[in-house]
Amino acid sequence: MKKALTRQQYLDLYYFMRLNRAVEDTMVKLFRQNKIVGGLYSSLGQEAVSVGTAYALEKKDWLAPMIRNIGALLVKGVPPRDVFMQHMAKYDSPTKGKDGTSHFGDLENLHIVSPISMLGDLIPVMTGVAIAGRYLGQKIVAMTWIGDGGSSTGVFHEGMNFAAVQQAPFVLVLENNQWAYSTPVKRQVPLENLADRAKAYGIPSYVVDGNDVVAVYTTAKEAVDRARNGEGPILIEVKTFRRLGHAQHDPAEYVPKEMRAYWEARDPIALYEKFLSAEKLLDANNKKQIDEKIETLLSAERDFAENSPLPPAEFAAQGVYCTGDDCHKVAPKWERPIAEVTPPKSRVPAVWTVKGFGSGKASGGGSAPIHFGDTEKHEEQSKDTEVPEAVAETIRPPAQPRPVKSKSAKATPKKSAKPAVVSGKSSARKARR
Ligand SMILES: Cc1ncc(C[n+]2csc(CCOP(=O)(O)OP(=O)(O)O)c2C)c(N)n1
Ligand SMILES: [Mg+2]
Residues 6+ apart with CB under 8 A from 330: 322, 324
* pLDDT reading at 69 higher than 50: yes
Residue 345's pLDDT band, with cuts at 50, 70 and 90, is confident
Whole-number Å distance between alpha carbons of 153 and 270: 34
Q: CB-based burial of residue 343 (10 Å sphere; 0-12 exposed, 13-18 middle, 19+ buried)?
A: exposed
- Nearest alpha carbon, ligand 1 atom 11: 180
Q: How high is the mean pLDDT of the chain?
A: 84
* pLDDT reading at 382 higher than 80: no
| Mean pLDDT for the stretch of residues 97-105 | 90
Most confident range, picked from 235-239, 245-249, 321-325, 339-343: 235-239
Cα 180 to ligand 1 centre (Å) = 6
* pLDDT reading at 3 higher than 90: no
* pLDDT reading at 378 higher than 50: no
- Nearest alpha carbon, ligand 1 atom 19: 180
Cα 119 to ligand 1 centre (Å) = 6
* pLDDT reading at 406 higher than 60: no
* pLDDT reading at 331 higher than 60: yes
Which ligand neighbours the alpha carbon of 146 most closely? 1
Does residue 305 or residue 341 have the better pLDDT?
Answer: 305
Q: What pLDDT score does 340 carry?
A: 72
Whole-number Å distance between alpha carbons of 345 and 138: 11
Q: What pLDDT score does 374 carry?
A: 37
Q: What pLDDT score does 325 carry?
A: 80
Q: Which of 181, 197, 250 to mutate to test the pocket of ligand 1 (most atoms within 8 A of CB)?
A: 181
- Where do the domains of the chain lie, and which CATH numbers do they carry? 7-317 (3.40.50.970), 326-385 (no CATH), 398-433 (no CATH)
Q: What pLDDT score does 350 carry?
A: 56
Residues within 6 Å of ligand 1 by CB: 68, 117-119, 147-150, 153, 175, 177, 179-181, 242, 246
| Mean pLDDT for the stretch of residues 390-398 | 37
Q: Which of 5-14, 109-118, 363-372 shows the lowest mean pLDDT across its residues? A: 363-372
| Mean pLDDT for the stretch of residues 279-288 | 96
Residue 2's pLDDT band, with cuts at 50, 70 and 90, is low
State pLDDT tens for residues 108-139. 899 999 999 999 999 999 999 999 898 888 89
Q: What is the pTM of this model?
A: 0.80
CB atoms within 10 A of CB 51: 31
Ligand 1 atom nearest to 121, measured from its CA: 1
Residue 384's pLDDT band, with cuts at 50, 70 and 90, is very low
Whole-number Å distance between alpha carbons of 33 and 44: 20
Cα 18 to ligand 1 centre (Å) = 26
| Mean pLDDT for the stretch of residues 75-103 | 95
Cα 178 to ligand 2 centre (Å) = 5
Contact (CB, 8 A) for 125 and 156 = no
* pLDDT reading at 412 higher than 50: no
Q: What pLDDT score does 242 carry?
A: 98
